[in-house]
């Protein structure tokens, strides 16, 4: 069973004054109403070669209905693409076409299984996430395994990101992830906005069945930490991918989070 908690984009679970608000309708109930029809050109995607990905939002109860999407954080669809072992991550944004589809061109780095999470909001409804598995032809890499928590990321050009959890990570509880970003050991206090926020955090369970997405809680806060509000439904190992904008470049930090 696929579960998601979109703690940032949706109406069903929003942040106000540091507290989480929930709508009257259950996310799992809303999730059943919509899906995303996927196709690609070529039909057989080949590693390291360009592929055109096409998505059409569908109402499960009426597949002929046109489904308009809201612009949320500057885009109508946020597409999170990961390798099945979560060693590779990319966020891309399909653009709308006159025929009602949303298209984007990309390349996959190697052969094997990948998972795409299409994150979108049909007009008048809550945020939806459709999980789409993809097989890519080409040489495959040995799958990576994660067993040790990793809360510090060391990037290029002296950047570092460190998560402060204020204790153990516990599933089923509302959690604040406080991230300190430094460059050359000095706090970065002048982050630029990326997609309407100071940071975006995609978090995916090791089996890719649980997906969470959060953005920095308050655009006005430009202190030494950026704060993300989320909740993990189940215990286990998760991979986290934080994206932030600094010095005119989008940086992606990766983490391993172990939930008890």
* Residue 31 confidence (pLDDT): 52
> Looking at residues 227-235, what average pLDDT do you find?
92
- Considering the entire predicted model, what is its pTM? 0.87
- Quote the CA–CA distance of 32 and 24 in Å, as a whole number: 16
Dump the DSSP string for 100-111: S-EEEEE--SSB
Same domain, 156 and 255: yes
**Residue 46 above 60 pLDDT?**
yes
Helix/strand/coil for 156: helix
Q: Indicate whether 203 belongs to any domain.
A: yes
Inter-residue contact 235 to 243 (CB < 8 Å): no
Greater pLDDT, 148 or 8: 148
For residue range 171-187, list pLDDT tens digits in order.
998 989 999 999 999 99
**Residue 10 above 60 pLDDT?**
no
Which residue, 136, 168, 200, sits at the end of a domain?
136
Question: Computed from CA positions of residues 1, 28, 77, 36, in that sequence, does the dihedral angle turn out positive or negative?
Answer: positive
* Residue 156 confidence (pLDDT): 84
**Mean pLDDT score of the chain:** 87
Residues of the chain by 3-state class (helix, strand, coil), percent to 5: 5, 55, 45
Which residue, 77, 110, 136, sits at the end of a domain?
136
Same domain, 72 and 97: yes
75 confidence band (pLDDT: 50, 70, 90): very high
Could you identify the residue written with the tokens 């096409």? 54
Q: What is the DSSP letter of 46?
A: B
Q: Indicate whether 25 belongs to any domain.
A: no
Q: Indicate whether 4 belongs to any domain.
A: no
Domain residues for the domain of 127 are: 33-136
Which residue, 136, 170, 197, sits at the end of a domain?
136
Same domain, 125 and 55: yes
* Residue 8 confidence (pLDDT): 39
* Residue 2 confidence (pLDDT): 56
**Residue 20 above 60 pLDDT?**
no
- Quote the CA–CA distance of 196 and 172 in Å, as a whole number: 28
How would you classify the pairing of strands 210-215 and 3-6? parallel
Same domain, 125 and 80: yes
Q: Indicate whether 142 belongs to any domain.
A: no
Cis preceding linkage at 236, omega within 30: no
Q: Indicate whether 129 belongs to any domain.
A: yes
The CATH number given to whatever domain includes residue 67 is 2.60.40.1930
């Amino acid at each position: 069973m696929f579960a998601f908690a979109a703690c940032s984009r949706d109406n069903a679970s929003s942040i106000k004054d540091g507290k989480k608000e929930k709508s009257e309708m259950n996310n799992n109930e809303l999730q059943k109403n919509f899906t995303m029809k996927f196709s690609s050109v070529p039909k057989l995607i080949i590693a390291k070669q360009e592929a055109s990905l096409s998505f059409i939002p569908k109402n499960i109860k009426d597949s002929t209905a046109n489904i308009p999407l809201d612009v949320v954080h500057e885009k109508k669809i946020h597409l999170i693409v990961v390798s099945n072992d979560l060693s590779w991550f990319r966020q891309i944004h399909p653009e709308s076409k006159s025929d009602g589809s949303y298209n984007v061109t990309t390349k996959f780095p190697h052969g094997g299984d990948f998972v795409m999470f299409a994150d979108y909001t049909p007009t008048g409804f809550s945020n939806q996430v459709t999980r789409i598995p993809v097989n890519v032809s080409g040489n495959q890499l040995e799958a990576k395994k994660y067993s040790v928590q990793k809360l510090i990321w060391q990037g290029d050009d002296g950047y570092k990101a460190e998560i402060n959890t204020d204790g153990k990570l516990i599933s089923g509880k509302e959690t604040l992830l406080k991230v300190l970003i430094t460059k050359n050991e000095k706090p970065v206090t002048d982050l630029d906005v990326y997609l309407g926020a100071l940071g975006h955090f995609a978090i995916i369970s090791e089996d890719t069945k649980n997906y969470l997405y959060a953005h920095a809680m308050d655009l006005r806060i430009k202190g030494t930490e950026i704060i993300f509000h989320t909740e993990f439904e189940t215990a286990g190992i998760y991979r986290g991918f934080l994206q932030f904008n600094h010095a005119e470049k989008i940086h992606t930090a990766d983490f391993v989070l172990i939930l008890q």
